[in-house]
Structure 1
Amino acid sequence: MMKEILNEQLIKLDLAATDKEAVFNELADVLVNAGKVSDKETFVKGLWEREATGNTGFEDGVALPHAKSSAVIAPAIAVGVSKAGIEYGAEDGEPSKIFFMIASPEKASDFHVEVLASLSSKIIEPSFLEDLQNATSSEQALALFTANEEETVLPPETNQGPAKGFIIGVTGCPVGVAHTYLAAEAIENAAKEMGYEYKVETNGSVGVKNAPTAEEIARADAIVVACDKQVDLNRFAGKKVVITGVKKAIKNADTLIEQALVAPPFAGDDKASQATAAKAGPGGSGHDLYKYLMNGVSHMIPFVVVGGILIAISLAIGGEPTPGGLAIPEGSLWNKILDVGVVGFTLMIPILAGYIAYAIADRPGLAPGLIGGWIANNGSFYDADAGTGFIGAIIAGLLVGYFVKWIVSFNYNKMIQPLVPIMIAPIAGSLFIAAVFIFIIGAPIAGIMETMNTVLANLSTGNVILIGLVIGLMQGFDMGGPFGKVAFLFSVGLIAEGQTQFMGAQAAAIPVAPLGMALAAFIGSRMKLFEGEEVENAKAATAMGLVGISEGAIPFAARDPFAVIPANMIGSAVACILGFSFGLTCNVAHGGPIVVLLGAFNKPALALLAMAIGVVTTAAVAITLKKMRYNKVKKEQAALAAS
């Protein structure tokens, strides 16, 4: 395959680029000059659009930027080598030195995946990357790619080694591209070297390929599941199975096969949860539930960032203080930018619910999940003043996912079966979740809203420390959700009565969650408590927190609610109590440092101090809770290794 898509003209062994953007432009020029791409600007735009879904920098200095574009005349791959290395945002934090830029025609749906699969067999070779980096000419480099292409190999479905046994592998990474095929190649090579017949299933972006049959599973000696996404494990019940992530398979496939050969019989769902717990990061339990939540969070994050940043910019530049909060004058261009940001924020909750349901039930669960998330976030469906926020979205996504999965599990008549995923399951799921919220969950939510208003009204004439504690806990609990909105509207209502101390205390608590979690991520990432993606989220959360948008903390809370929500509540309560204790008042219905700059606080220095103490408290609690879980996971891993 390499001879068809790669030639000497497409290899550049002395890249001049010093950053990621320059790499894209330099290699795109190579493709244009070779007659493979017609419009450089369009193609590079496609590269960045792909990059927005997940960084294509991987371990060992390798980067695999790729795009499917109408600007691609003929499929090709451009190869670039940087001797010094370039900061690319790779997963291991190291500079990237070797770049494989794949140009795929718009209608060639599987091309980039096929190239990645082919590249995998090269990248996994012990000395390939080193030899490529040391190549002194394009001819020499090309020879490395085309070596052994003429050799005859058996199809992957039936590769036969000596009759020592049969190994099945299953690979799949969240994006379903590079790591999926690198892990598959590693398992195949290890099995072959160990003298086993093998078959490896890939769960890639183009679907499941090379899946083993029931007969093959029955005769398999061991099964290696190297996946960071949900796959069907129950089919392996009773077999010797080892479960891990794709990275371990890439680096230690032979060890995994040895472990699988002596593993106890796999027991199904319960055993799957227990086995995956050891490989979970410090932010989650490792159960299937964690994977479902992560699928929703990863798809929600761009909406949080786009919505939050645009709202923050429009309010910071175009906003003016009014009795009802920060407002942008009518007719201002900033109003349009604000509207676009609001669209992003409006969509983030349905997206969270939709992709949680999608992770559980696949495509049939997506539409009802989105609809359920919209209903959950819109209190008008069940006569409540506010929706259920991200917590309701998680509930909706899980309920819809499991319900739709149950609907599609039946054996339908052949005439009806094609309608199940596109009509029957989505309609049934949508009606189900609507009924749950409107007739079951809605009334209690509305009742809770009324009760909380009554509680706040009763407390407002009592101890300010107690009312500060209650308002702060409500503000930190759901970050812009129903509880926070009840407290906010209560404080806003008192402004009109001349009681601005309630808004002053809450305005100090509003930015604590996003700023606290951003600080925790920046510090905790050095302790391996936060992932790279969370550090990127922290940058957006910082901008949102500075202008009083508490929703910036939602991605952290959705990823790890049991550590983040308590931390947010404690920090927000501390800031709110300090606000009352300092005698803060605020005549603007908003919060965060931006309100200090607008002169709405009576004591700006003490307002910033209350916010800062709350932020530090949230960060400290979050890091402590995550550290406790991290240590627990380490102990479980040690116990598992010992057993």
Structure 2
Amino acid sequence: MRISDLLIKDRINLDIKSSDKPSVIRELARLHEKTGVLNDYDGYVKALEAREEQSSTGIGEGIAIPHAKTEFVKEPALAMGRKMSGIDYDSLDGEPATLFFMIAAPDGANNTHIETLARLSQLLLDDDFKEALEKAPTADAVLDIINKTEAEKFPDEAKKEEVKKAQASVANSSSSDDEPYIIAATACPTGIAHTYMAAAALKKAAEEMGVKIKVETNGADGRKDVLTSDDIKKAKGVILAINRNIEVDRFDGKPLIQVEAKEGINNAKALIQQVLDGKAPIFHASGSSEASSGEEASSEKKGLYKHLLSGVSYMLPLVISGGILIALAFLVDTLTCKCRI
């Protein structure tokens, strides 16, 4: 499904009035509500806010892609907003966001919205495309830019199959020493934005560096472009840009770098260069079939700490009450003794 199939003129606002993250989320959600996409505006906004609590969808470079898959959405849709003065969106690079793309997806829907996000991610890594959107004078101009760029970057289905076959052929012949071949895998907690942004960034960086790469995405629609044993055997090294568990024992004995997904987005070239320079440490499987990100480990520790504190907070009233009762008992005993005297 093309981006233009989900984005219509009435869901484009090139003059966002909001000045902070919560309000821009609500303002963009109104575009979905006004075009009949939602069956519960408040429920959808809460779903968006819950997603932001997991990790910010401000992916950096002035772009934010808030999204939610929820029962409060009737059909997949995309809304776009722009505020050139920028809004603090807790973005990965700490910079204000100027372009906003809000994805609405219903529970139980197919994965067309995931495919659209993956496509959108690739387009937004093109500086010319991003600049054109920033300068577009009207909503119609935005749609024209998107349609034109999609036509240039994504061939029709027949040509797409030819491209896939050609890429497979290149991958199969990429084991020669003069053509470095690297493999990677990406994953984020929701399997949507950062998963595909990291994959797109790594592919773009590899192309610019003259390096062959295959990237496995562990997204909401399952594993795509799965790394085969042959891929792993031929690869010079492995890059894992992940924020959740994936299978890693298959990489035993390979040079491997593991970072968070945002590092794959922001520092793709540096990660690839590290592998090419032979600076990636050799990975040794620990017997566990999955690797967890530092973020998840930290989350587990925080969760345990939270539960311990909760237990203490429940016990405090009992401890205090017990202390008061003991003090009263001593007081009564003292008064009783004085009365006897």
| TM-score, scaled relative to structure 2 | 0.75
- In 2 relative to 1, CA 19–494 (structure 1 residues): closer, same or farther, beyond 3 Å? same
Instruction: Show the counterpart of 1:203.
Output: 218
In the alignment, is the contact (CA less than 8 A) between 1:159 and 1:199 conserved in 2? no
Matches within 5 A, 1:434-445: none
Which SS does the other structure have where 2:117 is aligned? helix
> Counterparts of 2:132 and 2:236 in 1: how far apart (Å)?
36
Instruction: Show the counterpart of 2:338.
Output: none
Instruction: Show the counterpart of 1:491.
Output: 323
Q: Which amino acid aligns with 1:57?
A: G
| Displacement of 1:16 | 1.9
Q: Which amino acid aligns with 2:134?
A: Q
In the alignment, is the contact (CA less than 8 A) between 2:257 and 2:280 conserved in 1? no
Instruction: Show the counterpart of 1:43.
Output: 44
Which SS does the other structure have where 2:258 is aligned? strand
Work out which of the residue numbers 185, 191, 195 in structure 2 matches 1:170: 185
Instruction: Show the counterpart of 1:263.
Output: 279
| Displacement of 1:184 | 0.7
Work out which of the residue numbers 200, 204, 215 in structure 1 matches 2:230: 215
| Displacement of 1:159 | 7.6
Query: Alpha-carbon deviations, 1:471-526, whole Å to 9, x = none?
Result: xxxxxxx85488x7997576345333347xxxxxxxxxxxxxxxxxxxxxxxxxxx
- In 2 relative to 1, CA 300–69 (structure 1 residues): closer, same or farther, beyond 3 Å? farther
| Displacement of 1:264 | 5.6
> Counterparts of 2:38 and 2:314 in 1: how far apart (Å)?
48
In the alignment, is the contact (CA less than 8 A) between 1:238 and 1:265 conserved in 2? no
Query: Alpha-carbon deviations, 1:95-149, whole Å to 9, x = none?
Result: 3322111111232153443332122102222343333222222233223323342
> Counterparts of 1:92 and 1:193 in 2: how far apart (Å)?
22
- Greater relative contact order: 1 or 2 (C-alpha under 8 angstroms, separation 6 or more)? 2
Query: Alpha-carbon deviations, 1:258-316, whole Å to 9, x = none?
Result: 2112236624147x9xxxxxxxxxxxxxx969555434357689xx6xxxxxxxxxxxx
Instruction: Show the counterpart of 1:534.
Output: none
Query: Alpha-carbon deviations, 1:578-631, whole Å to 9, x = none?
Result: xxxxxxxxxxxxxxxxxxxxxxxxxxxxxxxxxxxxxxxxxxxxxxxxxxxxxx
In the alignment, is the contact (CA less than 8 A) between 2:129 and 2:149 conserved in 1? no
Q: How many residues align?
A: 312
In the alignment, is the contact (CA less than 8 A) between 2:114 and 2:192 conserved in 1? yes
> Counterparts of 1:290 and 1:71 in 2: how far apart (Å)?
33
| Displacement of 1:20 | 3.5
In the alignment, is the contact (CA less than 8 A) between 2:59 and 2:92 conserved in 1? yes
| Displacement of 1:52 | 4.4
Q: Is 1:160 equivalent to 2:170 in the alignment?
A: yes
Matches within 5 A, 1:224-303: 224-261=239-276, 262-263=278-279, 266-269=282-285, 293-296=297-300
- In 2 relative to 1, CA 84–35 (structure 1 residues): closer, same or farther, beyond 3 Å? same
- In 2 relative to 1, CA 208–145 (structure 1 residues): closer, same or farther, beyond 3 Å? same
Moved over 4 A (4+): 287-292, 297-301, 478-482, 484-490
- In 2 relative to 1, CA 52–243 (structure 1 residues): closer, same or farther, beyond 3 Å? closer
- In 2 relative to 1, CA 177–241 (structure 1 residues): closer, same or farther, beyond 3 Å? same
- In 2 relative to 1, CA 495–209 (structure 1 residues): closer, same or farther, beyond 3 Å? farther
Query: Alpha-carbon deviations, 1:449-474, whole Å to 9, x = none?
Result: xxxxxxxxxxxxxxxxxxxxxxxxxx
- In 2 relative to 1, CA 243–52 (structure 1 residues): closer, same or farther, beyond 3 Å? closer
Q: Unaligned 5+ residue runs, structure 2?
A: 332-341
Q: Which amino acid aligns with 2:256?
A: V
Q: Which amino acid aligns with 2:102?
A: M
- In 2 relative to 1, CA 228–20 (structure 1 residues): closer, same or farther, beyond 3 Å? closer
Query: Alpha-carbon deviations, 1:558-592, whole Å to 9, x = none?
Result: xxxxxxxxxxxxxxxxxxxxxxxxxxxxxxxxxxx
Q: Which amino acid aligns with 2:282?
A: F
Q: Which amino acid aligns with 2:98?
A: K
> Counterparts of 1:40 and 1:178 in 2: how far apart (Å)?
22
> Counterparts of 2:56 and 2:282 in 1: how far apart (Å)?
34
Q: Is 1:131 equivalent to 2:132 in the alignment?
A: yes
- The structure with the largest helix share of the pair is 1
In the alignment, is the contact (CA less than 8 A) between 1:224 and 1:256 conserved in 2? yes
Instruction: Show the counterpart of 1:601.
Output: none
| Displacement of 1:212 | 0.6
- The structure with the largest strand share of the pair is 2
- In 2 relative to 1, CA 215–489 (structure 1 residues): closer, same or farther, beyond 3 Å? farther
Matches within 5 A, 1:309-458: 349=307, 389=308
> Counterparts of 1:292 and 1:69 in 2: how far apart (Å)?
24
Instruction: Show the counterpart of 1:80.
Output: 81
Which SS does the other structure have where 1:183 is aligned? helix
- In 2 relative to 1, CA 69–481 (structure 1 residues): closer, same or farther, beyond 3 Å? closer
- In 2 relative to 1, CA 300–66 (structure 1 residues): closer, same or farther, beyond 3 Å? farther
In the alignment, is the contact (CA less than 8 A) between 2:237 and 2:275 conserved in 1? yes
Instruction: Show the counterpart of 1:352.
Output: none
Query: Alpha-carbon deviations, 1:5-45, whole Å to 9, x = none?
Result: 12333221111223334323432332344443455444334
Instruction: Show the counterpart of 1:188.
Output: 203
Q: Which amino acid aligns with 2:211?
A: Y
Instruction: Show the counterpart of 1:30.
Output: 31
Instruction: Show the counterpart of 1:100.
Output: 101
> Aligned-residue CA RMSD in angstroms?
3.6
Q: Which amino acid aligns with 1:66?
A: H
